[in-house]
Chains A and B, each alone.
Chain A
Amino acid sequence: MIRLTQDAIDLAPLITAAQQPAAGAVVAFLGVTREFTDGRQTVALDYEAYGEMAERELARLEAVARERWPLVECCLAHRTGRVPLAEASVAVVVSAAHRAAAFEAARWLIDELKASVPIWKRERWADGREEWVHPGAHQEATDP
């Protein structure tokens, strides 16, 4: 089950979907907008998605996870637009008969989601600066 939404992520229905008689273990992960990073203060994050491709990538990750682990349910939800402090931008909820698979799959899913799904965040810092977050890109072409 995958979802891109502009609304606040509602975890309850994802957990309800994951809680099934076959699943002895339900694991939920939330990625949350954090206030401090290397001493700098964030006031909010704005997320943008390449919608059609993001949905396709999320669906692909669910399919790969289901092949690798015996999952009962697998829910991936990502929010777009402004995500204020302490609110969730992403939820990964998986269930399986036993907890080893549920924990491993959840970890793999969030790591892969962060590496491949075409979604980008824009930092709004407390000092007024704003910048798109692009890991590994050079800051300036003129840097030595």
Chain B
Amino acid sequence: MKVRVLMFAGAREAVGADAVEVELDEGATFARLAERLREEHPALVPLARAARFASGTQYASPQQPVDPHAEIALIPPVSGG
């Protein structure tokens, strides 16, 4: 399945785009999505290990299966406030 992942801040700077698409097996988890992103976009490696994912504007856990129809975002370490 094709999964679109929104990019913010340093991640957007690293890939040069607001979003990237990766191919992912059906039923794959967010942990697997992290691996695929690192494979396809090595520039994300420094950020990816400490980053989380969001699905439908809620944090997703690494073991959660990826729903390709939800809005998925890579959330690099936050620095608000």
Contact = CB atoms under 8 A, between A and B. Distances in A.
Interface residues of B, number: 24
Interface in A86-134: 89-90, 110, 113-122, 131-134
A50 B76 contact: no
Interface string B43-60: 001110111001001110
| Chain B interface mostly | mixed
Interface in A5-48: 31, 47-48
B46 A119 contact: no
Contacts of B49: 137-138
Contacts of A114: 78-81
A118 B80 CA distance: 7
Interface string A43-83: 00001111011101000000000000000000000100000
A115 B75 CA distance: 12
Interface of B: 6, 8-10, 13, 42, 45-47, 49-51, 54, 57-59, 73, 75-81
